[in-house]
Amino acid sequence: MLTVGLTHFLVISAILFSLGIYGIITRKNAVMVLMGVELILNSANINFVAFARFGAFGLSGQLVALFVIVLAAAEAAIALAIVLNIYKTFSNVNVDEISNLKE
Amino acid sequence: MTESLLINLSVVTLFLPLLGFLVVIFLGKKFPKIYLFELVVLAAALVISCIMAFNKLTYFNGKDIIASLSWFKFNNVAGIGTLDFEIGVKIDNLTVIMLIVVNLISFLVHLFSVEYMHGDKRYTRYFAYLGIFTFSMLGIVITHNLLMMYIFWELVGLSSYLLIGFWFEKKSASDASKKAFIVNRVGDIGMFAGILILFTNYHTFTFDKIFAQISMGNLPFGSTAWLTAAGILIFMGAVGKSAQFPLHVWLPDAMEGPTPVSALIHAATMVAAGVYLVTRIFVMLTADAMFIIAIIGAFTSFIAATIALTQNDIKKVLAYSTVSQLGYMIMSLGVGAYAFAFFHLVTHAFFKACLFLSSGSVIHAMHHEQDIRKMGGLRKKLPITYYTFLISTLAISGVPLTSGFLSKDGILAGTLAFGKLTGYWFIPATGFLVAMMTAFYMFRLVILTFHGEPRDQHKFEHAKESPFVMAFPLVVLAVLSFFIWYTPNPIGADEGWVLSSWIKTPHTVVPQESRFNFMKDEFKAEVTPVSTIVPLQVITENKVNEPVKDAVVTQQAIPVEIHEKAEPVESNVVHSEMYEHTMHWAHYPAMILSVLVGGLGILFAFIIYQWKKISADKLAEKMHALYYFSNNKWFIDELYQNTWIAFTLLISRVLSWFDNTIVDGVVNGAGHTTKFVSKLSGLFDTFVVDGLVNFTAFFSGFVGLNFKRIQTGKVQTYLILVLFAVVILMFVLWSY
């Protein structure tokens, strides 16, 4: 019978990470980009938890994952506030149309 | 009147005409009537100088009133110590008499010019020029040192230049002004050299200090030859200014100026400045210098008189007569008849100014016709002018009862005495010959102009007598040509106040051996040697050794030192008592002879021109060579033209060639080289330096153009770049 090992977790994490990157790069909507970022954070969490389970790290991996979740929540709050401000200024939230940075 | 007041007044008189000049020259354009200010100023100067003369001659007769102050100083000059340049005023009897002469004639000429120059387009400027001339002339008169004398000397030269060339549109006038200026410079170079000889030795320009040094036996470079040289060189200034041979050529040409100017400058005052200069340095002239001066004077008076015989321009005749009379004065100074030279200067100033102004009146009446061949019979039309002209002609011819008789007679007596004592009889012979010629040509002028029948009927019809402002100066000057103003005795000038108390021959300061040695063997036994003369040392030594302490505080802001010479010794000693004695002896022979030759000259003039017993034309034909020679002024101008001037032109042509080819060649070569080098350097700049700069700019532009594409401003592009960078970094790090 197939036993689930560290490799499986890492593959899942890598897939999630890649999906996150893909989302960030391809989505126009800023909210969707934020969701990509959340995916990347969660792939990192999976890595933490996986290494904690199969390594000799005790519970510290899980603890870090918890911190990351809290931080992700905070980050999402701030990012959404920024998105709201962007909407106020430009009347949309499409990142490819907001290119004021080059000026 | 105190001495300090006299000094102050002399300074005021000096600066009044300058004030007039400044006001008229700067305000003349705006207020055409301002020229009247010049007249007022001159009248004031005249009144002041009359007051000064009265007080000086009454209360300070014979006293030298000197005021001097330090102009600038050079301290610690190597080998000398302190060099003190002084300016100052010396008022002696000569000064105050000259002040009156200059101011009076200047005022009368101003008055005359008001009408004569009427309608001229530079009317006010003319009066301004007269003002600056009067200022400079007064400066010469009152100065007490050679430096100031030289400065004012050049200033009169300048004003003479300006006035001769007053009608500078005429080529002849501008040429004449240049000629006068340049010829005068030739003389002034000599004068300057002479002044420098004295300054090098005595470190002062002040007359009295120099004379004091000489009288103490302190000769220039220790030799009498240098003293002679200094005297002759300074005299060269007088040769130029007083139009003596060989520098007399400018004066006849100077007649291109307005006629009143000729009267003021080229007859009465400026040309007399040379004579005045010689009277100032008279005491330091050695016998050799004086002899040369006498010969130059005699020769000048002779050639000028011969030229005057045949001239046809009324002003030219008067001009040559002026040269001749100036030669007389110079000759008189040369033979030692100092007092009579100055006396003749004064009398000549009045009657010659009168002659010139009268001729101006004639020219004015004849509408600027100057040729006497076209005049004649003007006596009826111009009675006042005729009589004033006649009186001054009588004076210049030396007819008794006139002033000219007194002074001329004195000069001739002086030359006679000189001839008797030294054996040089040619000098008195020239004197008498010139006296005859003078009488002849002056009466020729009178007869041709005023007597006989009018030769140009048209001009004669339109001639009319000048108005009051022109006639008044004529009358005043004519009246001053009578004897009564100078002496109560019409045949003895010695007894008059001018010569008995005003003009005294000063004591010579040159060493014994270089004075005139009148002791021809036959006289030696009977005359005590010259050493009986009271030497000047007593007077001058204390003045030099202890700078004057008794400075009088005057009303002026500047402190003026006043010091005085002691009273001159009573007896009128010239170079020796012998000379004085002989001059008395010569008095009556000279008088009789001069009346005789003068009368002869007048008689000839009447025979030839009035009664026409001898035809002038035939006479000229008979003595064709002489006539030709005289009429062409001895070819002196042509001589200069072909020698000095041609030589100068040749040199200047050579120098100009040198300049144009060699000096300019070097300069141009340098220019070409510079141009070439700069072209090279320009190329280097455009291609190398600019190339580098441009390349830098181009390169950065290129790089910028290509790199600006990655700056899209889109977050996602940046993110991709970061991702790539991370991946690359990862690979790089991996390999380590």
Domain ranges across chain A: 6-90
The verdict on whether omega for the bond into residue B220 sits within 30 degrees of 0, i.e. cis, is no
Pick A96's closest partner by Cβ from B711, B714, B720.
B714
Is the model's pLDDT at B46 over the cut of 60?
Answer: yes
| Secondary structure of residue A89 in the 3-state scheme | helix
CB distance B160 to B270 below 8 Å:
yes
Task: Report the distance separating Cα B418 and Cα B412, nearest Å.
Answer: 10
ipTM of the complex: 0.80
Specify the range with the lowest mean pLDDT, choosing from B176-185, B257-266, B295-304, B493-502.
Answer: B493-502
User: Which secondary structure element, helix H or strand E, spans residue B717, and what is its range?
Assistant: helix B715-735
pLDDT bracket for residue B565 (50, 70, 90): very low
Q: Residue A99 and residue B719: Cβ atoms within 8 Å?
A: no
Query: How many C-beta atoms lie closer than 10 Å to residue B95's C-beta?
Result: 25
pLDDT bracket for residue B266 (50, 70, 90): confident
User: Which chain B residue lies closest to A23 (C-alpha atoms)?
Assistant: B716
Cβ neighbours for B266, distance < 8 A, ≥ 6 positions apart = B160, B164, B251, B254, B255, B257, B319, B322
Pick A95's closest partner by Cβ from B715, B720, B723.
B715
Q: CA of A97 to nearest chain B CA: how many angstroms apart?
A: 8
- CA B26 to chain centroid, in Å, comes to 25
Chain A CB contacts of B723 below 8 Å? 21
Is the model's pLDDT at B554 over the cut of 90?
Answer: no
Is the model's pLDDT at B564 over the cut of 50?
Answer: no
Q: Residue B712 and residue A25: Cβ atoms within 8 Å?
A: no
What is the share, in percent, of chain B residues with pLDDT greater than 70? Answer: 91
Amino acid (one-letter) located at B16: L
CB burial of residue B33 (10 Å; 0-12, 13-18, 19+): exposed
Is the model's pLDDT at B671 over the cut of 90?
Answer: yes
Q: What are the E-state strand segments in B568-651?
A: none
Closest CA to A42 of A80, A77, A75, A86: A75
Q: Considering the domain delimited by A6-90, tell me its CATH architecture.
A: Orthogonal Bundle (1.10)
CB distance B317 to B267 below 8 Å:
no
Pick B712's closest partner by Cβ from A24, A25, A102.
A102
| Secondary structure of residue B62 in the 3-state scheme | coil
- Position B517 scores a pLDDT of 62
Interface test with B, best of A37, A102, A103 (most B CBs within 10 A): A102
Specify the range with the lowest mean pLDDT, choosing from A49-53, B126-130, B378-382.
Answer: B378-382
Q: Residue A96 and residue B720: Cβ atoms within 8 Å?
A: no
Query: How many C-beta atoms lie closer than 10 Å to residue B488's C-beta?
Result: 10
Region B689-716 average pLDDT: 87
Q: pLDDT (tens digit, 9 = 90+) per residue, B424-436? A: 888 989 999 999 9
Interface test with B, best of A86, A93, A99 (most B CBs within 10 A): A99
Closest CA to B331 of B292, B376, B363, B358: B292
Task: Report the distance separating Cα B546 and Cα B92, nearest Å.
Answer: 22
Task: Report the distance separating Cα B414 and Cα B428, nearest Å.
Answer: 8
Q: Residue B716 and residue A103: Cβ atoms within 8 Å?
A: no
- Tell whether B711 lies on the interface with A, counting CB pairs under 8 A: yes
**Alpha-helical segments (H) within B60-122:** 93-116
Interface test with A, best of B714, B720, B730 (most A CBs within 10 A): B714
Task: Report the distance separating Cα B404 and Cα B390, nearest Å.
Answer: 13
pLDDT bracket for residue B221 (50, 70, 90): confident
Task: Report the distance separating Cα B620 and Cα B641, nearest Å.
Answer: 27
- Residue B434: φ, ψ to 5°: -65, -40
- Position B518 scores a pLDDT of 57
Is the model's pLDDT at B439 over the cut of 80?
Answer: yes
- Tell whether B710 lies on the interface with A, counting CB pairs under 8 A: no
Task: Report the distance separating Cα B50 and Cα B60, nearest Å.
Answer: 15
- Tell whether B712 lies on the interface with A, counting CB pairs under 8 A: yes
DSSP states of B265-311 = IIIISHHHHHHHHHHHHGGG--HHHHHHHHHHHHHHHHHHHHHHTT-
Region B577-603 average pLDDT: 84
Q: Residue A101 and residue B713: Cβ atoms within 8 Å?
A: yes
Chain A CB contacts of B719 below 8 Å? 24-25
Pick A95's closest partner by Cβ from B711, B714, B720.
B714
- Position B612 scores a pLDDT of 80
Closest CA to B305 of B407, B439, B449: B439
- Tell whether B719 lies on the interface with A, counting CB pairs under 8 A: yes
- Position B567 scores a pLDDT of 39
User: Higher-confidence residue: A97 or A78?
Assistant: A78
User: Which chain B residue lies closest to A29 (C-alpha atoms)?
Assistant: B716
- Position B248 scores a pLDDT of 87
- Tell whether B76 lies on the interface with A, counting CB pairs under 8 A: no
- Tell whether B714 lies on the interface with A, counting CB pairs under 8 A: yes
- Position A41 scores a pLDDT of 92
User: Which chain A residue lies closest to B714 (C-alpha atoms)?
Assistant: A99
Is the model's pLDDT at B460 over the cut of 50?
Answer: yes
- Position B716 scores a pLDDT of 82
- Tell whether B726 lies on the interface with A, counting CB pairs under 8 A: no
Strands B561-564 and B81-91: unpaired
The mean of the pLDDT values for chain B is 84
Between A and B, how many CB-CB pairs are < 8 A?
A: 27
